[in-house]
Structure 1
């Protein structure tokens, strides 16, 4: 009978250490063990606390989570974990290094710091392989697979359509393949009794499972080690039960650490931030992250994420092209003057080892370094620029520090950059919606929703910048002694806006669904129209352009040689590939 129990334990724990993408279902991925131990009972048995109103529940979209069966007052303790329950791996810090197994420590040292999740993932794999592991009741409740992009099929990775994320996914996949070889090379001469994974084979799939389990569930909290300045290290920890709390930017709970009586021992608690109603899920804020990081590390995205952004490379030639498309005469992004280069160096956009990645979107709307660079390079008056400090030039809260004309040119350039970014997506938003409605796999759906959110973010940035242009133009017209604009240029402007060089353009109808309530016949007041300045690749009068268009405020658009836009006949049943014809005539 004893031998039978040992055999059963062996069969339970000696399962393949891999991740099967096919394990995902409509209600979320299955657990490692279908009849896993009761996690709440285990936490209580090990000296932890779980509020009697908390239950584990299955959510269609979020998988397993924690919900309440009755109202819980604000400030209540929801979960408390004693120091021995979190799963951690402090491989190179203080006395923890002496206690760690040398093989695991050696493998962890081969992991780059940016992929810290893999270091704790090695410890997780070790405990998953170990017969009778203390953490088995917790590990057996973990998902069998994760919806992070490293487990996507090749076509689904391509479907992301966003170069910065594709780079990160490919980088992680290459790391896992390379690390598999390093693990096998390290373990080939290790005896069975010293084998950290009980002799089980470890491949890229199992390493990917472990890294994903950690990146999607671990919290970086204060560790045991104290530094000379009395600060403590931040250590990744897997927190049984706590990691079943799902994410929200408006959480109803938060994690706190309390000092225990014993030195260097911390009690970890989850407390109610506000009153939690019956049947409400328990929600923590995972951080103010972009959809790139949510998808890479957690396997989900947030619709209309206020912290999402798009990444661009600061490139003089690209900015020159965008600025010219925006109607700015003679931009000099590629050949700044010495005083401008000096400021660009201070912004770390020039000089030795510049950081050329800039972002559009999020709370800043336009990253401060990019906004400052545009203001500096579009201003012809050195004194007007140098009377402001760098923080003022970077701030979007400071209106037109270098003059309204310069600010208008900067905004127009960003709008043109956005249009270029949209052009790089192979599909339009309506095409994405059609694909989603046709029924696709779970991973395909996630990839399509990710890229669709990026496109809508770009649309929102263009709309907001156009709104700000309207406000500034109105303020300029309303100022005492202001001179009204005419087709030849604005009085007092340092930056001239080129007159339009064509009269007709074809604009894709992709965003009509989002920006307007389309009737059988389009009326001008129902549309937000992007100014002429964003149109790209101007080829002379009468030329046409297939632009991945979007729409901004049309009424009261102000600028040199702006245009009214008249919408031609519209078929409300038009497919995504069909277009509208807009005829441009100069505004009086």
Structure 2
């Protein structure tokens, strides 16, 4: 059965349906839906790839793995399929342990032509290292298509759909209202469409016995599903020994472990242990704290922005302390901010030579300058931006040399160049926030009204929740800096 092709457009809106375990498993359409989680907005929920998926916990135990008796897979919670504790689990307790043959990984790219996955490896070589999610996705697609795959008990439990932005409609992508993320979404869609042509050129004339995907057509929708499955679930493990004897990090899919949901304050962590008699590693999950009955097993996926959480995982974290808004360091923008703030600075358009020298050290001036700055994150304001404004509002270079650029990049240092200078800097940054807010077509009250409205797609609600989180972050920065202005003496 051939898959249906991808319709033209920047977003991918053809997904998969489940298939039979006893015949070739076709790559077909799927459906997406999301729900709200107590910590996450838009956590993906979907039925499993197979309606008769095997018991994943039993499979791991049968294969020599360990799963704590107090664990169960829950498909009824608002965050979808996840691991819950059915009893109290003490801190330090081993929860899951996978032997080395259970994780799913792409064989080394330097494997020879006689390797069973030689064609998959050849396709993976055509992708750059930064697209490791798609590289591993090729292996996942190959195993999904293979009748009798060792990993079918795991693959059959994967979702039919992933609610990540590459599967949003054009309207839903536009409703993100944030250009840096929209650019990344469109970039991924374009990449998938381009790689579809590459895959077809390699496999179109192969007989089914040689075909890495069981004779099935692989389009951008299938590639998108595979890439999303990897981006939402894979881990990079260290200590893997490559064919040349060197150690490196290898992305792997970890069955059952990847059912743990995310929290920045996780109650469990992944541990790697050397397998005696082998150069490979065992993977374990250990309780970081006491886990009460009925609690989810949670891992920290990393200090990620909402952009990356949405792009790779399909959810956002409200009030994410790692999130930020990206701006461009631009003289015209700074001039507009100064006018909005009611302060004057002629140095924005024509900084003095000594100011240019310091701006070059901050990488804001010169041929290879970096104009990207951020508002938000742990530091609240990009330190390079703070230092640049302090320099541009300064009257001479002596005070700057006295303090040094490292000191000037810190907002925690109280008015290093004097109160008037600091007031101008803070008020200009507040004005930058006002301008950034003005670039969103809708206001916060409108967004909140749409979120409460029934009948909108869950993807649309997720897009609106994303842009709302950016606006709330800008307001938080404004309030914090306004308070600092008031506290200046």
TM-score (norm 2): 0.90
> In the alignment, does 2:214 pair up with 1:198?
yes
> In the alignment, does 2:105 pair up with 1:105?
no
* Contact preservation (8 Å) 2:177, 2:467: yes
CA 132–107 in structure 1, closer or farther in 2 if over 3 Å, else same: same
Report how far residue 97 of structure 1 moved: 9.0
| Alignment partner of 1:459 out of 475, 482, 485 | 475
| Alignment partner of 1:156 out of 154, 169, 172 | 172
> In the alignment, does 2:325 pair up with 1:315?
no
Distance 2:71 2:219 in 1: 37
Report how far residue 372 of structure 1 moved: 1.3
| Alignment partner of 1:374 out of 389, 394, 401 | 389
> In the alignment, does 2:318 pair up with 1:303?
yes
Distance 1:314 1:19 in 2: 43
| Alignment partner of 2:426 out of 411, 415, 421 | 411
Greater RCO (Cα-Cα under 8 Å, separation 6 or more): 2
**Residue aligning to 1:479:** none
SS at match of 1:270: strand
> In the alignment, does 2:198 pair up with 1:182?
yes
Distance 1:234 1:50 in 2: 25
CA 91–354 in structure 1, closer or farther in 2 if over 3 Å, else same: farther
SS at match of 2:403: coil
* Contact preservation (8 Å) 2:319, 2:473: yes
CA 23–293 in structure 1, closer or farther in 2 if over 3 Å, else same: closer
* Contact preservation (8 Å) 1:319, 1:333: yes
SS at match of 1:387: helix
| Alignment partner of 2:89 out of 60, 64, 72 | 72
**Residue aligning to 1:51:** 68
Distance 2:326 2:146 in 1: 43
Report how far residue 90 of structure 1 moved: 4.5
CA 182–221 in structure 1, closer or farther in 2 if over 3 Å, else same: same
> In the alignment, does 2:31 pair up with 1:21?
yes
**Residue aligning to 1:361:** 376
* Contact preservation (8 Å) 1:340, 1:376: yes
**Residue aligning to 1:248:** 263
CA 250–457 in structure 1, closer or farther in 2 if over 3 Å, else same: same
CA 299–185 in structure 1, closer or farther in 2 if over 3 Å, else same: same
**Residue aligning to 1:271:** 286
Distance 1:11 1:90 in 2: 25
* Contact preservation (8 Å) 1:326, 1:413: yes
Report how far residue 198 of structure 1 moved: 1.0
* Number of positions where the alignment pairs a residue of Structure 1 with one of Structure 2: 463
CA 90–316 in structure 1, closer or farther in 2 if over 3 Å, else same: farther
* Contact preservation (8 Å) 1:24, 1:30: no
CA 243–97 in structure 1, closer or farther in 2 if over 3 Å, else same: farther
**Residue aligning to 2:55:** 38
Report how far residue 91 of structure 1 moved: 3.3
**Residue aligning to 1:564:** none
**Residue aligning to 2:103:** 86
Distance 2:23 2:225 in 1: 16
> In the alignment, does 2:303 pair up with 1:293?
no
TM-score (norm 1): 0.76
Distance 2:57 2:186 in 1: 38
**Residue aligning to 2:5:** none
* Contact preservation (8 Å) 2:267, 2:289: yes
* Contact preservation (8 Å) 1:91, 1:97: no
* Contact preservation (8 Å) 2:208, 2:214: yes
Report how far residue 225 of structure 1 moved: 2.4
| Alignment partner of 1:335 out of 330, 350, 361 | 350
Distance 1:396 1:19 in 2: 51
| Alignment partner of 1:389 out of 404, 420, 437 | 404
Q: Write out the 4+ residue segments of structure 1 that deviate beyond 6 Å after TM superposition.
A: 23-27
CA 12–38 in structure 1, closer or farther in 2 if over 3 Å, else same: same
* Contact preservation (8 Å) 1:74, 1:276: yes
Distance 1:194 1:340 in 2: 65
Computing the radius of gyration from Cα coordinates, the structure with the larger value is 1
Distance 1:149 1:414 in 2: 31
Report how far residue 24 of structure 1 moved: 6.4
| Alignment partner of 1:259 out of 274, 283, 291 | 274
CA 237–97 in structure 1, closer or farther in 2 if over 3 Å, else same: farther
Report how far residue 438 of structure 1 moved: 1.3
Distance 1:407 1:227 in 2: 57
CA RMSD of aligned residues (A): 2.1
Report how far residue 389 of structure 1 moved: 2.3
Report how far residue 189 of structure 1 moved: 3.0
* Contact preservation (8 Å) 2:133, 2:231: yes
Q: Deviations over 1:333-352 (max 9, x none)?
A: 22222222222222222212
User: Which structure 2 segments of 5+ residues have no match?
Assistant: 1-18, 37-43
* Contact preservation (8 Å) 1:400, 1:406: yes
SS at match of 1:305: coil
Q: Deviations over 1:508-553 (max 9, x none)?
A: xxxxxxxxxxxxxxxxxxxxxxxxxxxxxxxxxxxxxxxxxxxxxx
